[in-house]
Structure 1
Amino acid sequence: MSSVDPKDTFRAEANDLLEQLEKDLLDLSASPDSGSLIDGVFRALHTIKGSGAMFGFTVIADFVHAFETAFDRVRKGEAKVTPELVNLALRARDNICALIDGGDDAASAGILSELDRIVSGGTAAGAGASTWTVRFKLAGDAVANGANPVLLLDEIRAIGPTRITAITDDVPALADLDPEALHLAWEAEIEHIDPTEAIEDVFLFLRDDMELSIVRRDPVGESDADAPKAADSGPAAGVGQDGVAPAIRVSAERLDELMDRVGELVTAQARLSQLANIFKDPSLSALAEDFERLTSGMRETTMEIRMVPIGTIFGRFRRLVHDLSCELGKDIALDMDGEDTELDKTVIERLADPMVHLIRNACDHGLETTAQRLTAGKGGQGTIRLQAACSGTEVRVIISDDGAGLDVARIRARAIEAGIIPADREMSEEEVHQLIFEPGFSTAREVTALSGRGVGMDVVKRTIEALHGHITVSSRPAEGTRICLHLPLTLAIIDGILVRVGDGKFTIPLTAVEECVELDDNIAETERGRSFLNIRGTLVPYIRLRQLFGTRAPADPYPKVVIISSGENRVGLVVDQILGNSQTVIKQLSRLHARAGAFSGATVLGDGAVALILDPSALVSRGKVEAGEADRKRPAELAA
């Protein structure tokens, strides 16, 4: 068994706290008077400081302590939350991240100096302060377990003017004294408006096993009517009592290994089912059915474990938009919806960079300046909206803005100028929108520090297609642009239809399949280059996979057509035989095969044979291009 490095545990927990810290700071920029948010920032800093000191990260602990001290003045009402303070606090948060990653602390002194300057500009809020009596007694083994009462008392003194008295009532006679046990208790009188939250933060890691009471007294020393606030010595809050299930941290590598094992199990189950069909043994068939049921359950459970809310990356974009708003001098709001929508962790990880690029483009070139928006009769504040929702077996992630929209005429003119399309090519508005994903395409009049709409968008498209997804774009002049990413729920195991083309077997992802039809004999015999089927009054282009793959084996006398779709487009795939459904464990192609645009992966069948997985997006695009060429060459024939 491999042991876990405690420092790695600190880094993982600190990263979670830093994400929450960033969220609270960004929320503070919109709600600067929120006491709960200010307390949340302080608690995150306090926890990071305590954990850092415990695990030996003294540089981090020292910086966070100074950061915490500065922000404590905000909590006490001695300084106000301003945009300048939020921006600087975000810089301080980034500095903590850098220190955790092993960076030097060259920037620390400057940040802390600016923090001190900002918070020192406020006025003290001494009015209304009361005297509070705090009594606490730690567990007898607290010192043996690493607690340091002296440091705790120092933290209490930092809250406000304090007088501390040791309580020795439980100290035994010298002969009975256990030198490793703690027998003292303490009483502290603090001048403060309300130190409750600060006191509870001091004992954050010790509250379960200690005694603590906090009582407010009026200025003349008489007891307040408020009841003592005692610490909860029961189970940790939120675990098993408020409906929140306990959670454990599992490394991504272990999840990947688990999915690999489940994939092998699915392949073994397919092989067992095949043997049961061959030998027709009732006992073997019953075993195969049980094995298939258990494998299916294991597969679903493993898939659920790998699912991650898309909100885990949505949160990062709040900071991105905040920084871009400051950098561009634009008033930009970010709306998010569907953060609970779940995707496979691999999809989530690979989705982050394309979304950053799309959001940068939307902020930089999609949204107008405040003056331009007001001139156009819009509100001065522009909006970027992120939405996610499940739609069948796919997830749709939408990035939209309420800016000027795409200039179709300019896009077309630029594409002709760059030689991407011929000048006489007729294109729909949707096809023109897709030109922004062509390599090297851009309508930007000047290069900015961010990116022009179109620059690098081909990389975005390739990344999404590598995830077995596709992109659709819609835009209205003066109303904005909407980019929709259509993504599969998972990249590990999919349901597919197994087909035969000649001697080869291929898998078509079931999510892309609309229906299966017979290939009309008349079309097959009198085709003469014709490549369309009439599906209930709609012409659908089709591709003969035998011709595409150069198959020389004898053709089946009754070919079938599998109608697949990608986005709003459809194409038919002519195959020799449809073999049935199959659970497909996706394997990556070699570098040699990866360049073949018709395939997105491979899978191992129950008999040990390898079947290539067809790429619906690539095949639909191919069929659309061929249909367009046929439409220009034979308009009279297609109209017949």
Structure 2
Amino acid sequence: MSSADEIDPLFLAEAQQLAESLEAALLDLRDRPEDRQIIDRAFRDLHTLKGTGAMFGQADMAQFLHDFETAFEAVREGNLPVTEDLIGLGLKARDHVLSLLSGGPVAPGRPLLDALRALVSSARDGSGEVESSAGQSFGEGWTVSFCLPSDTLILGGRPEALLDELRELGSTDLKPQLDDLPHLEDLDPERLHLRWNAHLPSTVTEDAIRAVFLFYDDGLELTVAGAATPEPVENSHNAPSDVLPQHSVRDSSLMRVSAERLDEMMDRVGELVIAEARLADLAARSGDPQLVAVAEEIQRLSTGMRETTMSIRMTPIGSITGRFRRLVHDLTEKLDKPIDLHVEGQDTELDKTVVEMLADPLMHLIRNAADHGLEDAATRAAMSKPKTGCIRLSARYSGAEVVITLADDGGGLDLERIRARAVDRDLIPSDAAFSEADTCALILEPGFSTAADVTELSGRGVGMDVVKRTIEQLRGSIEIESEPGHGTAIHMRLPLTLAIIDGLLVEVAGERYTIPLAAVEHIIEMPSDKAQEDGATRFLNIRDQLVPFLRMRRLLNSPGHPDAHQKVVVVTAGELRIGLTVDRIIGSSQTVIKQLSPLHAGLKTFSGATILGDGTVALILDVPQLVAFGQTLDDREVA
């Protein structure tokens, strides 16, 4: 078996995608075992994965999948019912394929195949022969005539594997037709010229016959004739749609691009935006109308380039939820707790980097919810709860952010136990007055755990602090709500993108700062009665609503006196909003986000920095942190 590094990257990506699709089909089949379309979908994924593996020389994988496919054919024929055992074996077979692709040590796959064959055998012993999936008897059998595309060998096809498949279906009299062979001097050793005829028994379905030819599309000549098809059907292009593989017909306008190239492209666009800003600044200073016109045109082009690149990088949260369904399936068996996972807002899009980094934190939160949050079936019944516990994952847009919530309907957090544990670990003094939100947040501390026993899944106090660090690394925030007896909800607020944003450039005490424009609600003049630094209140009446505000000069410890005509930029984070007082509004601009150095990464006021058109650096204000800070400050600290 080749190592993972030696496998063609395009094949590896295709195989992993097919394996994920197969996993999703098996999990869907668990919920809807009688759904014929899902059965066909799982079989298509199996067959396509097998053929792709054979084409790229992955003989071990292709052979294993061939044997697995043969057993699974019994499901398509109605000879084997869909059970939990079958789904479990199918998922383990999928895992075995991924192990073969990884190139590392692989456990033997024979026990899985033996278990599948035992299922098929027991089903047949119990019910006898069952009709074919179409419910038809095909009389005298099938006559098949085919000629493969002439460039099959050039494209890496293996005709001998196809002939073996036909023989395994029960083909007899499989013979080549030599009448149309060209003269010896005209033979091209790299091209096929033979036509083949075969006879197959009536117990084989037409779908199974046509499935053998799935990987031979353009140029294939195929005729399948028999009792069920009195009129021959030429060309496999007309095969029934339910036997076409999910990835066999491709839109020529689509292509795969590696993540590394997308990252490099985004870096280049970021540098282009910075160069465009410098050009615009130089053009404005020069006063040359032609240079200004060129700068404006380049600005228009760079804006379009940025938007196109950003759209390419955006990925729906649904791209990672498939693995969560498998996790919940496995947890149901391991914990002996019936659990359902409900996902809402799968089409909500974030930057691909954000989505990829979210996968592990969400996996940990789901494991915690299943292990610690949800009660067992007996306890839930005693509490008049549904036997099956529910974990709900939702995603929605909220201004410039996406809010992702992971909630369960379990027993909720034991706040008194959390406080006691925090006091034992000297995290808080014994007489501390903590709010419910602050108490819930204690579970995010490193090493914190209230679990009485350490299990295979959790209880060691690691994980939740990693979740918190990951969310903060993504410039997000995390909040926890819990109601005893009714469950816990963890809300994660994350920016839409980590690369380029539209920003509002402001000035405070001669220094320039950037505020994410998507978070800006409106801008107003500072009322004269609130302009003094020693004002008695920190609230503004905006449209008949009291809005707290922060004096940025005081917050930033800026020297000097404020501008006579200060402005208030009202920003929002979720349902909360706050005003930020600044000396001057400079204007909006494209902002390329640069990460702060490790020395400054702990500053909660700023989320990053950007390079301006004149080459200087402006810090980017962290709006969610400022809003949270403004909501908790005592009046005396700000007035």
Q: Which TM-score bucket, shorter chain as reference?
A: 0.7 to 0.9
Equivalent position to 2:585, from 578, 591, 603 = 578
The Cα of 1:522 is off from its aligned counterpart by: 4.9
Q: Which residue number in structure 2 is paired with residue 355 of structure 1?
A: 362
Q: Deviations over 1:407-433 (max 9, x none)?
A: 445445544555444555555544444
Secondary structure of the structure 2 residue equivalent to 1:121: helix
My pick for the range that moved more, 614-623 or 582-591, is 614-623
Q: 1:80–1:119: 8 Å Cα contact kept in structure 2?
A: no
Q: Quick one: distance in 1 between partners of 2:245 and 2:109?
A: 35
In structure 2, C-alpha distance between the alignment counterparts of 1:569 and 1:424, rounded to whole Å: 30
| Alignment match, 1:635 | none
33-42 vs 329-338, which deviates more? 33-42
- What are the residue-to-residue correspondences of 1:101-140 with 2, within 5 Å? 101-123=102-124, 125=129, 127=131, 129-130=137-138, 131-140=141-150
Q: Which amino acid aligns with 1:79?
A: L
2: CA distance, partners of 1:600 / 1:493? 13
Aligned to 1:22: 23
The residue aligned with 2:265 is 258
Residue of structure 1 equivalent to 2:152: 142
SS of corresponding position for 1:207 = coil
Which piece of structure 1 moves more, 557-566 or 456-465? Answer: 557-566
Which residue does 2:563 correspond to in 1?
A: 556
Contact 2:405 2:492 in 1 (8 A): yes
Give the SS at the match of 1:209.
coil
- Residues 475 and 454 of structure 1: is their aligned pair in 2 closer, same or farther, counting only changes over 3 Å? farther
In structure 2, give the amino acid aligned to 1:594.
A
Q: 1:601 to 1:181 in 2, by over 3 A?
A: closer
Q: Which whole-Å deviations, capped at 9, do the CAs of 1:351-372 have from their partners, x for residues lacking one?
A: 1111112211221222221111
Of residues 235, 238, 245 in structure 2, which corresponds to 1:231?
Answer: 235
Equivalent residue number for residue 341 of structure 1: 348
| 2:494 corresponding residue in structure 1 | 487
**2:541 is the counterpart of 1:535:** yes
Shift of 1:300: 0.8
Distance 2:522 2:529 in 1: 21
1:364 equivalenced with 2:371 (yes/no): yes
Counterpart residue number, 1:634 = none
Supply the distance in 2 between the matched residues of 1:579 and 1:177 (Cα, whole angstroms): 76
Distance 1:627 1:515, change over 3 A: farther
Q: Partner residue of 2:214?
A: 204
Of 305, 308, 316 in structure 2, the residue corresponding to residue 301 of structure 1 is: 308
Cα displacement string for residues 595-625 of structure 1 (whole angstroms, at most 9, x for unaligned residues): 3232211111011111111222333343344
Q: Aligned-pair distance for 1:98?
A: 1.6
Cα 1:434–1:534 shift into 2, 3 Å:
farther
Cα distance, 1:194–1:227 mapped onto 2, change above 3 Å:
farther
Q: 1:278–1:80: structure 2 CA closer, same or farther, 3 Å change rule?
A: same
Pick closer, same or farther for the CA change 1:243–1:132 going to 2, 3 Å: closer
CA contact (8 A) 2:440 2:481 kept: yes
Q: Distance in 2 between matches of 1:158 and 1:325?
A: 38
Residue matched to 1:271: 278
From 460, 465, 468, the equivalent of 1:461 is 468
Q: Distance in 1 between matches of 2:233 and 2:369?
A: 50
Q: Which moved more, 1:161-170 or 1:41-50?
A: 161-170
Query: 1:491-506 residue pairs with structure 2 within 5 A?
Result: 491-506=498-513
Q: Distance in 1 between matches of 2:438 and 2:493?
A: 17
Partner of 1:546: 553
| Percent identity (aligned) | 50
Work out which of the residue numbers 148, 154, 157 in structure 1 matches 2:164: 154
Does residue 7 (structure 1) correspond to residue 13 (structure 2)? The answer is no
Choose 459-468 or 227-236, whichever is displaced more.
Answer: 227-236
Instruction: Write the distance in 2 (CA, Å) between the matches of 1:526 and 1:172.
Output: 97
1:450 is matched with 457
Give matches, 1:270-419, under 5 Å: 270-416=277-423, 418-419=425-426
Identify unmatched segments of 5+ residues in structure 2.
Answer: none
Instruction: Output the CA distance in 1 between the equivalents of 2:459 and 2:525.
Output: 48
Structure 1 residues 163-242: aligned runs within 5 Å: 163-171=173-181, 181-217=191-227, 224=228, 226-233=230-237
Q: In structure 2, do the counterparts of structure 1 residues 511 and 457 end up closer, same or farther at CA, with 3 Å as the change threshold?
A: farther
CA separation of 1:628 and 1:446: change in aligned 2, threshold 3 A: farther
CA distance in 2: counterparts of 1:550 and 1:627, whole angstroms:
18
Deviation larger for 178-187 or 496-505: 178-187
**Distance in 2 between residues matched to 1:483 and 1:226, nearest whole Å:** 62
The alignment of Structure 1 onto Structure 2 pairs a total of residues equal to 622
Contact persistence 1:361–1:452 (CA under 8 A):
no
Aligned residues of 1:531 and 1:542 also touching (Cα < 8 A): no
Q: Aligned partners of 1:163 and 1:125: how far apart in 2?
A: 26
How far the C-alpha of 1:78 sits from its partner, in A, is 3.9
Closer, same or farther in 2 for the Cα pair 1:581/1:452, shift >3 Å?
A: farther
Q: Deviations over 1:553-604 (max 9, x none)?
A: 5653444443334344444434333322221101112222213232211111
The one-letter code sitting in structure 1 at the alignment partner of 2:66 is: H
C-alpha distance 117-521 of structure 1, shift in aligned 2 (>3 A): same
SS at match of 1:122: helix
- Deviation string 1:198-220 (CA, Å, 9 cap, x unpaired) is 22222122132111122332xxx
Structure 2 CA distance for aligned equivalents of residues 21 and 147 of structure 1? 24
**SS of aligned partner of 2:600:** helix
Shift of the 196–17 alpha-carbon distance from structure 1 to 2, 3 Å rule, reads same
Report the CA distance shift for 1:309/1:37 in structure 2 as closer, same or farther (over 3 A): same
Tell me how far apart the structure 1 counterparts of residues 288 and 221 of structure 2 sit (CA, whole Å).
Answer: 69
- Check whether the contact 2:537–2:635 (CA below 8 A) recurs between aligned residues: no
Q: TM-score, normalised by structure 1?
A: 0.87
The Cα of 1:373 is off from its aligned counterpart by 1.6
What does the per-residue CA deviation read over 1:56-84, in whole Å, with 9 as the maximum and x for residues that have no partner? 22232233233333323433444333212
SS in 2 for 1:404: coil
Determine the C-alpha separation between the residues in 2 that align with 1:430 and 1:174.
85
Gaps of 5+ in 1: 218-223, 632-637
Cα distance in structure 2, aligned partners of 1:238 and 1:62? 19
Could you tell me the TM-score, scaled by structure 2's length? 0.87
Counterparts of 2:250 and 2:237, CA distance in 1: 19
Whether the 8 Å CA contact 1:434–1:473 is kept in 2: the answer is yes
Secondary structure of the 1:262 match is: helix
Whole-Å separation in 1 of the counterparts to 2:554 and 2:637? 17
The verdict on how the C-alpha distance between 1:560 and 1:185 changes in structure 2, with shifts beyond 3 A counting, is: same
CA spacing shift, 1:606–1:11, aligned 2, 3 Å:
same
User: Structure 2: how far apart are the matches of 1:610 and 1:543?
Assistant: 23
Contact 1:159 1:195 in 2 (8 A): no
Which is further off, 152-161 or 349-358? 152-161
Bigger drift between 445-454 and 334-343 goes to 445-454
Deviations 1:471-503 (A, max 9, x none): 344444433333332222211111122122334
